[in-house]
Structure 1
């Protein structure tokens, strides 16, 4: 039965269409490869090993851990305007805390809603 199906497929031109479809797929893949190489040739070259970033001479940068307190907001009922805020992009409105003791900065000691108490 399989032989008859193959003979019918070959005689009806289906085999020729399969060959044409296969060649078309290979052509599309080759065109995509050539197009990708062209795009890659227009990109900036990769940096050489001597152009890679290096560690600073004094070693890696270390993390600074400190407890910070928010800056006070004026309580006179007025509004702060943009020129009264801290200058510069990325500067926070905090300052280092007077106490760097972790016991002074534990959360859940407040008596507000969700303060962690039993009652």
Structure 2
């Protein structure tokens, strides 16, 4: 906007300057972001080049001669929790024994008895 004398209106000049600085700021911000992304990809490529290469197909693990390993299910004997000798003494993890380190003689899985609740809130009488 110009005045009668060909000069810029001060409000229009201020608006033009503000929008110009805003545009320059947006472009510079975009360039900074693009530069950061390029640097991140460069750094990732540099780190990846130091890693060992993936194994070739002939270097992959193979099945044992006996065939694939299957899951083994067996019942284990429960391990008793040691009692604290004093009420002030607390049991620490290193005081506990590894759980279930003995194979049970009875390998039949335990089942719920008929007529017992089986779960919380089922309305049954529960185990006596």
- TM-score relative to the length of structure 1: 0.54
Q: How does 1:1-119 map to 2 (within 5 A)?
A: 8=16, 12-70=20-78, 92-97=100-105, 99-102=106-109, 105-106=110-111, 116-117=126-127, 119=128
Whether the aligned pair in 1 keeps the contact of 2:77 and 2:103 (CA below 8 Å) is yes
- TM-score relative to the length of structure 2: 0.51
CA distance in 1, matches of 2:58, 2:67: 18
Whose strand fraction is larger, Structure 1's or Structure 2's?
1
RMSD of aligned Cα (Å)? 3.7
**Do the aligned partners of residues 55 and 91 (structure 1) sit closer, same or farther apart at CA in structure 2, a change above 3 Å counting?**
farther
- Structure 1 runs not aligned, ≥5 long: 73-85, 109-115
Higher RCO (CA-CA < 8 Å; seq separation 6+): 1
Whether the aligned pair in 1 keeps the contact of 2:76 and 2:103 (CA below 8 Å) is yes
CA distance in 2, matches of 1:69, 1:46: 44
